[in-house]
Amino acid sequence: MEEIYQTIPHREPFLFVDKIVEMRDDGIVTEREIRAEEPHFQGHYPGNPIMPGVLLCESVFQTAALYMANKFKAEGDQGGQKTPILTRIQNAKFKQIVRPGDVVRIEATYGEALGRFHFMKGKVSVGGKTVLTVEFGLAMLDAE
């Protein structure tokens, strides 16, 4: 967790990554355990808790932010001096329900860069079954 805290600005209750599993040249894999006590379950289908799809997407975006910070650092740039800002979401497809107790595996794969814009693909799975696929763009802006 300390590496995550040092790399991206997100904190509880809006941090949706527990650990980095793998860092590759073309992407990253993280995991997160979905916990029953998370505050959104109080109002999102009370009595039948379902992880909000938008928060699954957010876990992908946070995973991508971890990747981008490490990519900039590896290239000798000040990755910690850049803030990843979501600029595009496309083709989000939800295929399964995620519930408390599930451990989600989150993948972000790098596509291409156009100036300061970086295009990626994301995938969330539980037990080897795909839950979510999404394409998105991030802009890496100078931190203020």
Which positions are annotated as active-site residues?
A: 44
Find out whether 2 and 20 touch, Cβ atoms under 8 Å: no
Task: Specify the DSSP class assigned to residue 133.
Answer: E
Find out whether 12 and 52 touch, Cβ atoms under 8 Å: no
Angle at CA of residue 73, ends 69 and 77, nearest 5°: 105
C-alpha 76, offset from chain centre: 23
Find out whether 105 and 21 touch, Cβ atoms under 8 Å: yes
Find out whether 102 and 16 touch, Cβ atoms under 8 Å: no
